[in-house]
Structures are given as structure tokens and as C-alpha cells.
């Protein structure tokens, strides 16, 4: 079960707020998550690395659309959250869709989020 949150109120506003390949921290519901734009695609993900809890907001994005953790350089596929380099669990990712009303992000619904 999930809940959908909308950031901004237009495509143009979201595109202006999120420069290409710059990771931003956003508060969605009770959670602080990472958000990045790659061209016309948007990716939302847990703000902390599943390995040692490092802030992925301080990470970087490579040319393969992978998020690189600043602590141990573990790499995660932005689209799926699958760990591609490193030995830890996959990164939690959240579906995003840019609409005329803003960026819609689907978050799992639980009593903790």
C-alpha cells in the first residue's frame, strides 16, 4: 500500500527546482529522501545508504545513472535501487512521475512513515 505525494505545482517549477544531476534532500510525509533529475527522468530514493547509514544526499551520480555513496563508494542503480558495486542490501527507491500538476512520488504507507 502506498501514498502519493505531489511536489511543486507544475512541470516547469519542478524542472527549475531540480538542476540536472544535482541530488536534493526533500521532506515527503515524515521522511527525508533524496531526489535527482537526469534529463527528463526523476528518481527518488532513501536518503541513507543501506550499508552504514551514510547520507546519500552527499553522494554523486555517474554516467551509468548510478548513485555513488560518499562513504565507501558503493553504487546503486537509480531506477531500481539494486546495488551494483558493494556488498549490502539494495537501496529503497520510490516511483516518480512528472505531471502537469508537479512531481508525484509514491511512498510506502506504514505507521512508521
CA–CA gap between residue 107 and residue 63 (Å, rounded): 27
35 forms beta bridges with: 24, 44
Residues 6+ apart with CB under 8 A from 103: 6, 7, 8, 14, 35, 42, 96, 97
Residue 73 lies in a domain: yes
Domains in the chain, number: 1
The 10s digit of each residue's pLDDT in 46-95 is 999 999 999 999 999 999 999 999 999 999 999 999 999 999 999 999 99
Residue 18 lies in a domain: yes
The domain that holds 72 is classified in CATH as: 2.102.10.10
Residue 113 lies in a domain: no
Residue 74 lies in a domain: yes
> To which H or E segment does residue 89 belong?
none
104 forms beta bridges with: 6, 97
The pLDDT value given to residue 110: 63
Residue 10 lies in a domain: yes
The 10s digit of each residue's pLDDT in 4-46 is 999 999 999 999 999 999 999 999 988 999 999 999 899 999 9
**What range does the domain containing 19 cover?**
2-107
Amino acid at each position: 500500500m502506498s501514498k502519493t505525494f505531489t511536489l511543486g505545482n507544475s512541470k516547469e517549477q519542478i524542472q527549475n527546482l531540480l538542476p540536472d544531476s544535482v541530488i536534493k534532500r526533500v521532506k515527503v510525509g515524515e521522511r527525508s529522501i533524496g531526489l535527482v533529475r537526469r534529463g527528463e527522468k526523476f528518481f527518488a530514493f532513501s536518503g541513507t545508504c543501506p550499508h552504514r547509514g551514510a547520507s546519500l544526499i552527499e553522494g554523486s551520480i555517474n554516467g551509468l545513472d548510478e548513485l555513488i555513496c560518499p562513504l565507501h563508494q558503493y553504487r546503486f542503480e537509480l531506477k531500481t535501487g539494486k546495488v551494483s558495486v558493494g556488498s549490502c542490501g539494495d537501496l529503497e527507491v520510490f516511483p516518480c512521475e512528472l505531471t502537469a500538476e508537479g512531481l508525484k512520488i509514491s511512498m510506502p504507507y506504514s505507521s512508521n512513515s
